[in-house]
Amino acid sequence: MKKLNEIPGKNPFKVPENYFEDVTRKIISETSGSESGISQRGTIRKMKPLFAIAASIAAFILISYTAFKIFIPGNTTHVVTGLSEQEFFETYLNDIDLLTLEEQAGTLTPVIDINDVNTSEITDYLLFININENEIYEFL
């Protein structure tokens, strides 16, 4: 068996003259005219944190707005400080005229037409509340 180290490990292959200079120039020329994978994907990679920040801000605004709409009622109560009860009522009454107050009171109390109530209904009511007849005569 012949030992491998007895054979000189010389390179038996040849290349054309100036091959390495030419091929190096050719490869550099080809690659410099196109974009590498790093520059295309690198841009997206660089933009990722900015996208994340923008998305976080948008999400925060949306959640805050929704929470505000849900939990804060539409009719807000304004607290007036530094006024006594007397001063408050005076201020309130001065701002509203009596006609408006009568209109508001009218909507709150049901209006009963006395003509719609007959005598027997009145008698029944009086008996129901167990009123003393002598008291009635006293009023008369």
Partner 1 sequence: MSNFNSDDDLIGLLKTDAKKGFSRIVEKYSSRLYWHIRRLVILHEDADDALQNTFLNAWKNLDSFRNESSVYTWLYAIATNESLSLINKRKKNSGIPLDDIGKYLACTTEGNIWFDGDEAEVKLQNAILSLPEKQRIVFNLKYYDKMKYEEMSKVLRTSEGALKASYHHAVKKIEKLLGEV
| Residue ranges that bind partner 1, judged by CB under 8 A | 1-4, 7-16, 19-20, 23-24, 26-28, 30-32, 34, 36-39, 41-42
Judge whether 24 and 15 are in contact, CB under 8 Å. Answer: no
Q: Rounded to the nearest whole angstrom, what is the least distance from the CB of residue 29 to partner 1 in the complex?
A: 10
Q: Which is nearer to partner 1, 32 or 77 (CB)?
A: 32
Q: Which is nearer to partner 1, 30 or 113 (CB)?
A: 30
Closest CA to 92 of 5, 37, 83: 83
Q: Rounded to the nearest whole angstrom, what is the least distance from the CB of residue 47 to partner 1 in the complex?
A: 15
Q: Which is nearer to partner 1, 16 or 110 (CB)?
A: 16
Judge whether 101 and 111 are in contact, CB under 8 Å. Answer: no
Judge whether 136 and 126 are in contact, CB under 8 Å. Answer: yes
